[in-house]
Amino acid sequence: MKILRPVTWREPLLDAGVALAVGAVTTIMIHESDEQHARPVDAGAYLVCALMTLPLVLHRRKPVATLLLSSAGLFVYYSLGYPGIPPTALLAVPFYSTVYAGRPRWAVGVCAGYFTVGFVIVSLKHGKPLEALADFLTHTALAVTVMLLAEVLRSRRALAAETRERLRLAAEEREAEAARRVAEDRVRIARELHDTVAHSMATITVQAGSALHVLGEEDEGARPALAAIRETSKQALREMRATLGALRSGADADTHGIDRLPALLEAVRASGVPVELAVTGTVRDLDQRADHAAYRILQESLTNVLRHAGTDVRVRVRMAYADAGLDLEIVDDGGGPAAGAGGGHGVNGMRERVQALGGTFAAGAGASGGFRVAASLPAARAPLADVAGGVP
């Protein structure tokens, strides 16, 4: 399918300049021609000259029509008996444009027919076929040279277009191959996670449920902790399956936000760790990514307290809403950063979440011992109802 380029004002202006230049050259040749037995040059000759050069204005947009009209005008000029002029001076431009436009048969046909008929007429008129042949061979060679030049440039243009198309297709193939490899990696990761974490979480859930059934009256103190373990493992298993499904399909996984904070705090408290929650400012609806990141930061920070800070520890969670976003602070009074130092990637993961949103993150020793995590998340939007209501 041929794509039409938008025509700017420069192209018509340039085409008009070409027509004027060819018209000026043709006018000079008509004025200076001294062919014997020819009709004297008069206003009609210059009028015909203007008519046969005028179509050159359209040589870029209508090359074949320009070639035919200019050839017909030149034929009329010769038929009226005016002094002969070199035909290539007028037809070089339409020859070039016709070949460059991909219509070489028209250019070759007009060139061959025009010069053949002209040679026959001149030979019969003057009776000097060899002299006429020498003249016409010169003009024919010049016309062929112009057409060959146009063909070379057209071929280069076509080659450049083909090269660009091949590069585009190659880029699309590379993108498709990269997408295929990403999809394969997602499936592989989903398979590995399912074979390790998901199966382990299912086992924990079943074992916690079994322990609840066999508890005696003397073990009632352990019942809340086992119930929390079972519920937490069930929820983790549901999230894991949703994440695995997203990895397999390439879709976005269902994300949890701050609305699940009460359940998270309840699970931590059921494990024996007191948690104090302070919410300041007007609670606002966060962007989905920021909301999810806030929940994951709270979840990871509280999980680290359970894992590393010991049992005799208290946690303070502060959530400060402002027009710019949400500030989070999770501080515990446990054994400090040394107790929390491990081989995991929790802190780095929280930092990456915050940095991806353009926020700030800090984690380290608290002012009075323990460990402190602070994050500032942007993208707060319109105020909503207090989601912290009902949180003890």
Q: Which residue has the higher pLDDT, 126 or 277?
A: 277
Shortest CA distance to 316 belongs to which of 331, 301, 335? 331
Shortest CA distance to 356 belongs to which of 344, 367, 348? 348
* Residue 168 clears pLDDT 60, i.e. is over it: yes
- DSSP class of 385: S
Least confident of 41-45, 97-101, 329-333, 340-344: 340-344
> How confident is the model at residue 124, as a pLDDT?
73
> Could you tell me which residues are beta bridge partners of residue 275?
315
Q: What is the pLDDT averaged over residues 299-312?
A: 78
HSE-up of 312 (CA within 13 Å, CB side)?
1
> How confident is the model at residue 182, as a pLDDT?
81
Q: What is the C-alpha separation between 98 and 61, in angstroms, rounded?
A: 10
pLDDT tier, 318 (very low <50, low <70, confident <90, very high otherwise): very high
Q: What is the C-alpha separation between 368 and 336, in angstroms, rounded?
A: 9
Cα angle value 49/50/53 (rounded, 5°): 85
* Residue 242 clears pLDDT 60, i.e. is over it: yes
Q: What is the pLDDT averaged over residues 11-40?
A: 84
Per-residue tokens: 26: 């043709």
> How confident is the model at residue 219, as a pLDDT?
65
CB 189 within 8 A of CB 247: yes
Q: What is the pLDDT averaged over residues 11-39?
A: 84
pLDDT tier, 391 (very low <50, low <70, confident <90, very high otherwise): very low
* Residue 154 clears pLDDT 60, i.e. is over it: yes
Q: Please report, rounded to a whole number, the percentage of residues in the chain having pLDDT higher than 90.
A: 14
Q: Please report, rounded to a whole number, the percentage of residues in the chain having pLDDT higher than 70.
A: 81
> How confident is the model at residue 7, as a pLDDT?
52
* Residue 140 clears pLDDT 50, i.e. is over it: yes
CB 116 within 8 A of CB 66: no
